[in-house]
Amino acid sequence: MRMLCQSALLVKNISPSRWIALSAAPARKHRERTMAPPLAAMPDIGSPRVLSIQSHTVQGYVGNKAAVFPLQLLGYEVDPINSVQFSNHTGYPTVRGQVVNGDELWDLIEGLEANDLLYYTHLLTGYIGSLTFLEMVLQVLQKLRTVNPNLIYVCDPVMGDEGKFYVNPELVPVFRDKVVPVATMLTPNQFEAECLTGRRIRTEAEALEACEILHALGPSQIVITSLDLDKKLLLIGSDKLNKDEPARQFRITMPKIEAYFTGTGDLMTALLLGWSYKYPNDLSKAAELAVSSLQGVLRKTIKDYKDVGLAPNMKQLELRLVQSKEEITSPKVSYPAERLTLQNS
C-alpha cells in the first residue's frame, strides 16, 4: 500500500496517455533486446545464405555485380560486402573509387554479429587487393564458422591471368599457405593454379597433378576454370569426397569466343557455388550447368551488341546479365563433362 501511494505521488501530474507510454517502455526495451533475428538469417529456415566479399563497380558487371544477381536467381539470399568500390572496371581509360580496408570490413562483421545476423551457409570471396584485407577475411571466416561449423567457403583466388598479376605478388604465399587450406572449393584460372602450386601447367596431366597438390593443401573441390591448351579452352575439375578415396576428375571443353569480356571468372565461380549446392555430390554436374549458363550469357551478350551495330571485341564489352535470366536459371547442357584419371589423361 505504501509503495502504491508513493507511485501515485510520483505520477500525479502525468497525463494518462503519458503514463501508459512510460509504463510500456521497459517492456518495449526488453522486446527489442530479445527480438529474434529475421527468418532469413536463422539456420535451417528459408534459403541458403551467402556472404560475398568481392569488388564492386557502379557500372558494369564484375565482382559482386556479376555474382549477386545470378545467385539470387538461383534462390540464394546474398549479402555483399565490397572489397573495393569503383566507378567502372579497369578496362576503361579512367577509374575512380574507394578501397575498403581490413578494419572497415571487421566493423561490418561486428555490426552483423551485434544483431545475431552472422549465420551463413556459404562464404564467397573474389578480388582482394591488399594483404591486410586478406588477413582480415581469414578472421571473418573463423568467426562465421563459430556460428556455423558447416559453412562452405568458396574461394576464387583472384591474382592474375595470362601471366600477369592483378595484385601484389606478396599475396600468393598467403593464399597458398593460409587461405587454400581452409577453403572448401577453390576456383583458380590456369595462371593462378600455377602460382599456387609452383608448377607450369601445359597439359591435362599437369592440370590434374596441380589439382592433387591443391587437394593435399585442404580443399575438397578444385575447378581450374579456364585452361588454354592446343587451341582448346578447357575446364578441369576434381572432386574429393573422401580423403582416403581417389578424386573424381573431369574436363569440359568449351568454345573459344573471339571477344573481350570482364567479369566472366566472377560469374563462373558464383554459378559453380549455386549449382554445386544443388548437386552437392556431383561437382561435374554442377560444372556442366555453370559452363552452360556462362556460355549462354556470353552468346546473349554478343548478340545484343551486334544487334545495335557494336563490335563484340571492344574492350568495354559488358555482360548482358539481367537480359540473360533464362540462361542462368534454365541452362541447356551443351558442354558435357568427360571423366578423367591422372593415369590416362
What integer pLDDT is reported at residue 93 of this predicted model? 87
Count CB atoms within 10 A of the CB of residue 69.
Answer: 19
Can you read off the three cell numbers belonging to residue 242? 573422401
What confidence score (pLDDT) does residue 42 get? 66
Cell match 505520477: residue? 11
Could you give the angle at which helices 64-73 and 264-278 cross, rounded to 10 degrees? Answer: 30
Q: What is the DSSP letter of 180?
A: G
* Contact present, 54 and 46 (Cβ < 8 Å): no
Known catalytic residues are 266
Q: Quickly tell me which residue has 544483431 as its cell.
A: 115
Q: What counts of helices (H) and strands (E) characterise the chain?
A: 11, 12
Q: Which residues of the chain have pLDDT under 50?
A: 1-33, 344-345
* Cα 18 from Cα 199, distance rounded (Å): 75
Q: Give the chain's largest Cα–Cα span.
A: 95
The Cα 255–Cα 4 span in angstroms is 84
- Given this model, what pLDDT does residue 341 score? 73
Q: Give the model confidence (pLDDT) of 56-95 as tens digits.
A: 999 999 999 999 999 999 999 999 999 999 999 888 889 9
Q: What are the pLDDT digits (tens) for 260-310?
A: 788 999 999 999 999 999 999 999 999 999 999 999 999 999 999 888 887
Parallel/antiparallel/unpaired status of strands 49-57 and 122-125: parallel
Give the orientation angle of helix 283-307 with respect to helix 264-278, to 10 degrees: 140
Strand extents, DSSP E, the chain: 49-57, 77-86, 97-99, 122-125, 152-155, 160-161, 164-165, 185-186, 221-229, 232-239, 248-254, 338-340
State the pLDDT at residue 315.
Answer: 61
Q: How far is 221 from 236, CA to CA, in rounded Å? A: 11
> Which pLDDT does position 77 carry in this prediction?
96
Q: What is the rounded distance in angstroms from the CA atom of residue 250 to the CA atom of residue 246?
A: 13
DSSP 265-276: HHHHHHHHHHHH
Please give the Cα distance from 318 to 260 (Å, whole number): 9
pLDDT of res. 28: 47
Distance CA 174, CA 145 (A): 20
Distance of CA 252 to the CA centre of its chain: 22
- The residue with cell 597438390 is 213
Q: How far apart are CA 28 and CA 327, in angstroms?
A: 48
Predicted TM-score (pTM) of the model is 0.87
Cβ-Cβ contacts under 8 Å for 9 (sequence gap 6 or more): none
Cell numbers placing 29: 526495451
